[in-house]
Structure 1
Amino acid sequence: MTPIHAFLNGTGRDDRGRRIADVLAMDDHALEFTHDYIQWLFPLATPSMAQPGSPVLAPGDVPAIRGDPLAQANLARAAVLMSGFYARSPDWLGSYDHNHLRITRIVTSLKLLVGREAAAGFLAAIEDRCRAAGDPVNARSRRYWREALES
């Protein structure tokens, strides 16, 4: 089992020694101002430009994580956590914000590791929040979110 898979199913730790339960227990302040957890919570097959040393999905991780009920449950909890954070926080509702990149990552990772339906549900909540706030997020970021779902 790779480090990412072990982290997601709750048996491993990230590079700072946190278990997924620790990350899922973060408050909104920590979610906003800690910048190295999102790559572990929602991993991708490509390196992060924001956190160059962050983990990357290895060959075989996707089917292993998709087939692991603990990892799937934790990914669902992570999606609920981040959806709730974005519902409560107005800070990301501007033209440009680092959270826009996080949202693209979350949609991409959910689609890859859980399925399109989970990614679409997360994105729908984000887009609803944007509309309710008067659509302050730039069109380019929103286009990236939709492309992450459709690609």
Structure 2
Amino acid sequence: MSQYPIQAFLAGTGRDGAGRVLKDILAYDDPHIEGVHDFIQWCFPLHEASLAVPGAPVLSRAEAEAIRSDPAALSGLRAALGRMTRFYAETDGWLRAYDHNHLRITRILSALSDFLGPEPAAEFHAFVTARNAKAGGPVNATSLRYWNSALRGA
């Protein structure tokens, strides 16, 4: 078992701060994905503290390296990406000017860039921006700028 809690969670051998395993979150239906706010920080960890969820884990440099070298943790990250992609494909509530999902998308893009590289991040970015365009472009310009910055790793 990993000495790092986020790595263990992503690898499927650890629990998040609420006691859930990754498999629990991947099985959430869309209303749970929409309504539960403390899982995204575990599925898509960042080096910065979450302003939305105080006490959420913050990724250390050492743990990030451990995740990058752990095929099971990277597989868990890809599974979380798949679940969130399905959520954004199957729901429209986030397609409005302001929504908490815009912050989630920025987080996902940042984590993908950090752990999986530019291609998966670019694919997810293309997906969410195409969904936004198809809906008539309701997402605000500031959120779109944040998504672009996260894609560039800025």
Normalising TM by the smaller chain, what interval? over 0.9
Deviation at 1:55, TM superposition (A): 0.3
Scaled by the length of structure 2, the TM-score of the pair is: 0.95
Superposed CA offset, 1:94-136 (max 9, x none): 0000000000000001111221111111111101101111111
- Structure-to-structure mapping, 1:1-151, within 5 angstroms: 1-150=3-152, 151=154
Instruction: Could you list the structure 1 runs, at least 4 aligned residues long, displaced by more than 2 angstroms after superposition.
Output: none
Q: Aligned-residue CA RMSD in angstroms?
A: 0.8
Aligned length: 151
TM-score where L is the length of structure 1: 0.97
Question: Is the CA contact 1:38–1:102 (under 8 Å) kept in the aligned structure 2?
Answer: yes
Q: CA deviation at 1:89?
A: 0.6
* Alignment gaps of 5+ in structure 2: none
Structure 1 residue 9, shift from structure 2 partner: 0.5
Could you report, residue by residue, the CA deviation over 1:46-83 in whole angstroms, capped at 9, with x for unpaired residues?
Answer: 00000010001122112211111111111111111111
Q: Secondary structure at the match of 1:79?
A: helix
Instruction: Please state whether the residue corresponding to 2:61 is helix, strand or coil.
Output: coil
**Distance in 2 of aligned mates of 1:50 and 1:145:** 17
- Would you say the 8 A contact 1:44–1:56 is kept in 2? yes
